Amino acid sequence: MALSRCFNIEDVRRVAARRLPKGLFNFVDRATEDDLARDRNRQAFRDLTFLPRTLVDVAARSTETELFGKRHAMPLAVAPAGPAGLFWYRGELELAKAAARANVPFTLSTYSTTTMADIAATGATVWQQLYFWKDRALTYGIVDRARELGFGVLVVTVDTAVLGQREYLQRDRLMPPWGPTLASCAEMLLHPQWLAGVALRYLATGGLPRVVNMPQPGQDLTAEEIASRTSLCQSVTWDDIARLRERWPHKLLLKGIMREEEAERAFALGCDGVVVSNHGGRNLDSAASTLDALPRIVAAAGGKGSVLLDSGIRRGSDIAKALALGAHAVLAGRAPLYGVAAGGEAGAYHVLSLLQSELDRTMALTGCRSVAELTRDLIAEGRTETDHGA
């Protein structure tokens, strides 16, 4: 199916499923254990409904919004996702180019396979995501490089003390002990577009992508030492965030906040925003949906900083619902990844355009001329006696 025949994110997802070997498609599409949190995120969006405003002149309307001092086409940023380069040749670069073209921020993962400088050269507004590794010097190296390159936002992911239990990756040996299985080799052969356009192209141009923020094995460090130093740190606390606040002079967001008192603490420490996120359901399978967690966090934030949300964005109306419940913006993870897997930059751009036009249509149909008019009284379930709509 050509991109022009993809009328929604689900269509793009289906193209991605056809192009990628099954193990890789599972890597982007699935979550953890029984995928309950992933599905719960979606169900929460499905269950929320609008009471639309009518007889409003919506002829002139705009999805534009300001995020951390910059004007963007819509209240959405591309979420960090390390392995985009496995889905398309230099996939992260393609995603960043699409974000630049669509005028939305692009969040670069700690596990990026593309250098920060190459991503900056796309002209995208780049936000840098940070995981704390056991080795603080290596971790701070990422922060300092982001600062040198003039990135304006650091997004610290705080919900991943350990990785989620992803049994499908174990089965496919897409996590240690890595290695091809008979089934995964057969899958590669059954997906010649991916094999030739991604895997063989890497092999012909210098080898498979590697995580650029990690040092290379050599005289100083063995591969085992590098793996140990760059493993996720399980003892990150608020003290680390306070130290980071001193080191990083620009906007600081905590991603993975689901509790209101933690949002309060983040703002008290000088953070500029929190991302209400359960990592797309990829970590704790019994996590609440982010949409359910959002209203209390918005109330606790009390305007002291920005509240963003991710996990489950597949429609423009999802963005509208998150904003109506008080979020300033959303992040989208899988949707742009489906796009890049389906068609590189063009695929990712198509996804961002679909989301924007769906948001625009939702605004028109709910009587909103600007994203600021997406307010709580539009939500049927949240409406109270005192809501009378603007």
Ligand X SMILES: Cc1cc2nc3c(=O)[nH]c(=O)nc-3n(C[C@H](O)[C@H](O)[C@H](O)COP(=O)(O)O)c2cc1C
Closest CA to 41 of 380, 321, 255: 321
Contact 271, 305 (CB under 8 A): yes
Q: Which is nearer to ligand X, 63 or 160 (CB)?
A: 160
Q: Which of 164, 326, 333, 347 binds ligand X (CB under 6 A)?
A: 333
Q: What is the separation of C-alpha 319 from the centre of its chain, rounded to a whole number of angstroms?
A: 13
Q: Scanning residues 240 to 269, which ones bind ligand X (CB under 6 A)?
A: 255
Binding-site string for ligand X from residue 149 to residue 188, where x marks contact by CB under 6 A and - marks none: --------x-------------------------------
Closest CA to 341 of 5, 8, 21: 21
Q: Which is nearer to ligand X, 51 or 288 (CB)?
A: 288
Q: Does 75 bind ligand X (CB under 6 A)?
A: no
Q: Does 202 bind ligand X (CB under 6 A)?
A: no
Over the range 291-318, which residues count as b (16 or more CB within 10 Å of their CB) and which as e? bbbbbbbbebbeeebbbbbbbbbbbbbb
Rounded CA-CA distance 79/255 in Å is: 10
Pull the structure tokens for residue 224: 């085992």
Helix (H) or strand (E) holding 226: helix 223-229
Q: Which of 279, 315, 321, 328 binds ligand X (CB under 6 A)?
A: 279
* All residues at 6 or more sequence positions from 219 whose CB lies less than 8 Å from its CB, including other chains: none
Q: Which of 23, 295, 312, 347 binds ligand X (CB under 6 A)?
A: 312
Pull the structure tokens for residue 56: 């409003």
Q: CB of 88: closest distance to ligand X in angstroms?
A: 13
Binding-site string for ligand X from residue 108 to residue 137, where x marks contact by CB under 6 A and - marks none: -x-x-----------------x--------
Binding-site string for ligand X from residue 91 to residue 110, where x marks contact by CB under 6 A and - marks none: ------------------x-
Q: Which is nearer to ligand X, 35 or 377 (CB)?
A: 35
Q: Which of 24, 79, 153, 214 binds ligand X (CB under 6 A)?
A: 79
Q: CB of 347: closest distance to ligand X in angstroms?
A: 15
AA identity, residue 370: S
Rounded CA-CA distance 265/251 in Å is: 16
Q: Which of 85, 91, 209, 280 binds ligand X (CB under 6 A)?
A: 280
Catalytic residue numbers, as ranges: 279
Q: CB of 179: closest distance to ligand X in angstroms?
A: 20
Return the range that interacts with ligand X (CB under 6 A); candidates 43-51, 192-200, 226-234, 272-280.
272-280
Pull the structure tokens for residue 226: 């590098």
Closest CA to 129 of 303, 298, 310: 310
Q: Does 311 bind ligand X (CB under 6 A)?
A: yes
Instruction: Please work out, in degrees rounded to the nearest 5, the angle formed at the alpha carbon of residue 268 by the alpha carbons of 265 and 272.
Output: 95
Cα end-to-end distance, the chain, whole Å: 43
Q: Which is nearer to ligand X, 174 or 298 (CB)?
A: 174
Helix (H) or strand (E) holding 276: strand 273-276
Q: CB of 228: closest distance to ligand X in angstroms?
A: 19
Q: Does 22 bind ligand X (CB under 6 A)?
A: no
Interface contacts to ligand X, rule CB under 6 A: 27-28, 79-83, 109, 111, 129, 157, 255, 277, 279-280, 282, 310-313, 332-334, 337
